Amino acid sequence: MTVRKLIHAFMEKKCFQAVLAPVRIPSGESFAYELMNDRTKIEQCEPLPPIMPIPGARVLRDLTRKGEPDFKILCIMHPCEIRAAVELAKLRQVNLNNITFMSFDCPGVFPTKDYILEPKKYDTSYDEILKTFEGENFRVSCTTCIHFSDDGIMTDIHIANLGINGDKLLVQALSKKGEECLGALDLSLDQETSNRQEKINTVRKKREANREKLFSEIRPQVKGMDNLDSYFADCINCHNCMRVCPICYCRQCFFDSSDTKRVETDNYVSRARKKGGIAFPTDTLLFHLGRMSHMNLSCIGCGACEDACARDVPVAQIFNFMADQLQKMFEYLPGRNIEEKIPVLTYTEDELHEYEDAKEKP
Amino acid sequence: MSKIGLYLCKCGPNIAEVIDLDSIVQSISQDKTVAGVQIHNLLCSEDGKKFLAESIKKNEFERIVIAACSPKQHEATFMQVLSSAGLNPYMMQLVNIREQCAWVTPDKNAATAKALTCIRAAINRVKYHALLEKKEIECDPGVIIIGGSITGLETALRTAQHDRKVYLVEETTLGGRIKNMRVLLPLMASAREILQAKIDAVRNNKHIEILENCTIDDILGFFGNFVAHVHAQDKKEHELKAGAVVLALDAQQFTPTGLSSFGYGQIENVFTAAEFEALSSDKVVTKSGKPADSVAIIHCVGRKQLGYCSKICCANSMKIARDIVSRSSGTKVIQFYKDLCLPDKSYDRFYEETQSKGIQFIRYNEIEIEQKDGHVAVKVNSPGDEGIKITVDMIILSTGITPPSRAAEFARMFNVPIDEYGFLKQEHTILEPVSTITEGVFICGGMYGPGDITDSLAQAGAVAGKILSSLVPGKLLELEAKTSTVSETMCMGCGACVDICAYGAVKLDQNKNISVVNEVLCRGCGNCASVCPSGAAGHRHFTTRQIAQEMIQILK
């Protein structure tokens, strides 16, 4: 049994009428999401590609923002992409009706810039990595990701591929939708015999250690305005990170608006006078900190921002670092549960006392 | 470019003695964007206002900055002057150089410097003010009364008139707690007759619309302009519009489950006073149907748990005792009391008359109810006694009064605070007993504490008086002009502003998938503009540009 065979079995039983999954582009160097119902096309899809040029949640947003499709779609995405889609659903930018999610245990993805130079080398390397989940050269965000499996995400069907070798496929139905789909198949189901949970825990421990190490390295790099300026010194304010971010949904980003773009000459001149100089392009830090304050509560740590950065600024690392702390403050995990409201929209009179008057924030 | 005029007020000596206004005039005269600067001794005086209006007209100023006292003091005053001078009243900015500069420090240099910065900032801001239109609507003189209790009925009767519609909304049927009573204090009059008379009067009044078996889902709006959403038992929904809301829900009686010494819910033939009064049988019988030869009425049940005296239960217990004896002359009634509370002038005599009917009164310190051979026994420790045990056929527990079940919900709905017992807080305990801090929302009956029928009816009259005098048909309400707006082109329909609005003024247009601000309900707080990441939601009088331009001058 392979994933493709499974998809076919589902479609024969009319569990869904189309598939939204990554497909290798003709040149072979990259992947793009395609919505397809043609059997041959589906045969060619790559459920777990080695790169993630655009997070799938963005695609789902384009597809369903204006309404639900009138047929069922199987949406094959990485765990982080599903979490982003759930966050977008909370913001009414994605309609999850008629969408069935299929997720995988994810070892991580390579930086797109590296992959497209030598796709075949990375493909081979990835096939090996899928067996052991141990690999180098992944996105930094992936090496510190602890939600790479089925926990903390709202998925329907989960392919538990970590540590499963051979012809068997471990499929989990993690929702009513998933149960209905699996129930529709006439498959002989064996009992799970692998030591999968142990393997998951091993990988998670490693990732948590990476996470702690990375955050402790980042902390001194981003303390204070001078350090922040250095951190973002290479930024050219192209806003690619914002464009590719699955959470950023504004039709016009505030930092592209006339309020921030059509600034009087006198403004620049007086700032230069006051500080002894002004560097151009201006307000890059304003853009990053502003965007962070808008979307950080929902940041799922996919690292698409850093992947798309034209100048290799470690954007994802600082955003993940901040998201980790901010989400812990509110005990909020984006994408975990669609009923869980984003904290900026809830009001609790009595909260956050531990952050009042603290000299050194906990 | 608009002609900007700046006026500096000496404020008697309040401002002039600390701030060097002449130096400010000098500094500002170098600003080419300001067409003229003038100093006046007291702009808010009749003479000052006349001067201001004439000066504006003569100089043909289009935007005004006034440096004077706090906007809380005179913003409205100067806005009126602008109107009288033919300018849109929002084309002005009032800078506070009194409370925030002159009155903050004796240091003249510091105060003058700060005043100059603030004035420069205001000049920059006023360049970006928009012409806002003042809107007025006629107030809705109608009233929504929540609760078909006798208080609600009375309020309805007193407020309904030919030019004032009254809605009476009740979750079950009309009548409230009195429905289940037989007689009323202090005259032992028939509860049914009195109640029915009120209900009939209400039903016959064509200005009162009764909505029985209806539940209030929410009420939005403000004084003169409330909108209520109600659903009936058959799920049908109604929208009611009114200018005032009266909360007239009946209080409840405390149920002593969990107080094991009283045996409620565990021992047979132990009733609360309300349950006993609701028993329909004319004869006084136990659960098994046998006539009750002896009844004990226990006062002050749960008093310690509630933490307050409920004022009416002692007299009510006597009322019940006398009613029992009048229905069943052979029945012996004993009242066990802790402290006898007789606050009304008629109650002393009522007590004497009760005793004269053979009803016994025993004081107790501690009391316990036990089951004994199919009877109930009362074990009592009285002051000065070792203890007595009395066997009776039935026990009536006189418990205290607790807030209506939806009190907290309605309190939240109207931003009315509740006290430590769960009752709603009056606007002022002495001076304003029937209104709340939310204008247009009134309380009576059991809403702010225990009371008897005469209390409730007096409060109903008070509420009616307030409504009749303040909510006059034809009165105009000025709506907030400085409201929020949502740009149709920029909005992505995420709904953040809808969630965050405390006034229910922002709704999602499901067809266009954008948010829309109801300008009648909007209070201009700007929370929506704050939460919107793209700036699609904005505030008419606190645009990003206005705030930024003010900040830029301050930080220069």
> pLDDT tens, B495-508?
999 999 988 899 99
B1 touches chain A (CB under 8 A): no
Contact B494 A91 (CB under 8 A): yes
So what's the pLDDT on residue B538? 96
In a domain, A232, yes or no: yes
Which residue out of A90, A255, A256, A259 would a mutagenesis test of the B interface target, given it has the greatest number of B Cβ atoms within 10 Å? A259
Over 80: is that where the pLDDT of B376 sits?
no
Locate the chain B residue with the closest alpha carbon to A88.
Answer: B494
> pLDDT tens, B447-483?
989 998 989 999 999 999 999 999 999 999 888 899 9
* Neighbouring C-beta atoms of residue A312, cutoff 10 Å: 11
As a whole number, the mean pLDDT across chain B is: 93
Helix or strand or coil: residue A66? coil
Say yes or no: A252 and A331 in one domain.
yes
Q: Which residues of A touch B544 (CB under 8 A)?
A: 259
Residue for token pair 């600024």: A313
Here the tokens at position A166 are 């051979």
Q: Between A252, A253, A259, which is nearest B544 by CB? A: A259
Torsion of CA B146, B148, B150, B156, to 10 degrees: 60
Say yes or no: A97 and A206 in one domain.
yes
Which residue out of B412, B488, B494 would a mutagenesis test of the A interface target, given it has the greatest number of A Cβ atoms within 10 Å? B494
Over 80: is that where the pLDDT of A19 sits?
yes
In a domain, A254, yes or no: yes
As a whole number, the mean pLDDT across chain A is: 91
Rounded CA-CA distance B114/B120 in Å is 10
Contact A257 B494 (CB under 8 A): no
Q: Between A250, A257, A295, which is nearest B492 by CB? A: A250
Say yes or no: A9 and A137 in one domain.
yes
Over 70: is that where the pLDDT of A336 sits?
yes
Contact A345 B531 (CB under 8 A): yes
A 128-167 → B contacts, CB under 8 A: none
Share of chain A above pLDDT 90, in %: 70
Over 80: is that where the pLDDT of B491 sits?
yes
**Residue A251 Cα to chain centre, angstroms:** 20
E strands, B47-134, are 63-68, 92-96
Say yes or no: A167 and A38 in one domain.
yes
Q: Which residues of B touch A257 (CB under 8 A)?
A: 534-535
A345 touches chain B (CB under 8 A): yes
Contact B533 A294 (CB under 8 A): yes
So what's the pLDDT on residue B175? 94
Q: Which of A177, A211, A245 is the last residue of a domain?
A: A211
So what's the pLDDT on residue B214? 96
B556 touches chain A (CB under 8 A): yes
So what's the pLDDT on residue B284? 86
Alpha helices (H) along chain A: 3-12, 39-43, 56-64, 79-90, 112-115, 119-132, 140-143, 176-184, 196-221, 225-231, 240-244, 258-261, 265-275, 284-295, 304-308, 315-329
Q: Which residues of B touch A274 (CB under 8 A)?
A: 555-556
A211 touches chain B (CB under 8 A): no
So what's the pLDDT on residue A348? 80
Number of domains in chain A: 2
Contact A66 B496 (CB under 8 A): no
A207 touches chain B (CB under 8 A): no
Torsion of CA A120, A125, A128, A131, to 10 degrees: -110
Q: A110-124, A261-275, A306-320, B302-316: lowest mean pLDDT where? A: A261-275
Which residue out of A345, A346, A347, A349 would a mutagenesis test of the B interface target, given it has the greatest number of B Cβ atoms within 10 Å? A345
Q: Domain range for residue A336?
A: 217-357
Say yes or no: A117 and A232 in one domain.
no
So what's the pLDDT on residue B385? 66
B3 vs chain A: nearest CA distance in angstroms? Answer: 20
A294 touches chain B (CB under 8 A): yes
Say yes or no: A187 and A236 in one domain.
no
> pLDDT tens, B206-265?
999 999 999 999 999 889 999 999 999 998 999 999 999 999 999 999 999 988 889 898
In a domain, A362, yes or no: no
Locate the chain B residue with the closest alpha carbon to A258.
Answer: B545
Contact B513 A66 (CB under 8 A): yes
Contact A259 B492 (CB under 8 A): no
Q: Which of A156, A182, A211 is the last residue of a domain?
A: A211
In a domain, A203, yes or no: yes
A137 vs chain B: nearest CA distance in angstroms? Answer: 35
Here the tokens at position A316 are 């994802």
* Neighbouring C-beta atoms of residue B27, cutoff 10 Å: 14
Nearest of A66, A58, A56, A59 to residue A97 by alpha carbon = A66
Rounded CA-CA distance B256/B251 in Å is 16
Q: Which residues of A touch B493 (CB under 8 A)?
A: 92-93
In a domain, A335, yes or no: yes
Say yes or no: A34 and A180 in one domain.
yes
> pLDDT tens, B412-453?
888 899 999 999 999 998 999 999 988 899 999 889 899 989
Alpha helices (H) along B343-441: 347-356, 407-413
B353 touches chain A (CB under 8 A): no
Say yes or no: A197 and A258 in one domain.
no
Q: Which residues of B touch A251 (CB under 8 A)?
A: 489-492, 534, 536
Beta bridge partners of B211: B169
Q: Which residues of A touch B556 (CB under 8 A)?
A: 270, 274
Q: Which of A183, A211, A239 is the last residue of a domain?
A: A211
Say yes or no: A169 and A248 in one domain.
no
A245 touches chain B (CB under 8 A): no
A80 vs chain B: nearest CA distance in angstroms? Answer: 21
B496 touches chain A (CB under 8 A): yes
> pLDDT tens, B76-95?
999 999 999 999 999 999 99
Reported as a pLDDT band with limits 50, 70 and 90, residue A360 is: low
So what's the pLDDT on residue A254? 95
Contact B495 A253 (CB under 8 A): no
B454 touches chain A (CB under 8 A): no
Over 70: is that where the pLDDT of A361 sits?
no
Helix or strand or coil: residue A70? coil
B418 touches chain A (CB under 8 A): no
So what's the pLDDT on residue A162? 85
Contact A93 B492 (CB under 8 A): yes
> For residues B350 and B312, is the Cβ–Cβ distance under 8 A?
no
In a domain, A124, yes or no: yes
Rounded CA-CA distance A62/B304 in Å is 63
Locate the chain A residue with the closest alpha carbon to B546.
Answer: A259
Say yes or no: A183 and A325 in one domain.
no
Reported as a pLDDT band with limits 50, 70 and 90, residue B370 is: confident
Q: What is the DSSP letter of B417?
A: -
Over 90: is that where the pLDDT of A163 sits?
no
In a domain, A19, yes or no: yes
Q: Between B491, B496, B535, which is nearest A257 by CB? A: B535
Q: Which residues of B touch A262 (CB under 8 A)?
A: none
Nearest of B271, B252, B272, B279 to residue B180 by alpha carbon = B279
Say yes or no: A288 and A271 in one domain.
yes
Q: Between B535, B552, B556, which is nearest A259 by CB? A: B535
So what's the pLDDT on residue B94? 98
A57 vs chain B: nearest CA distance in angstroms? Answer: 16
Say yes or no: A126 and A275 in one domain.
no
In a domain, A107, yes or no: yes
B279 touches chain A (CB under 8 A): no
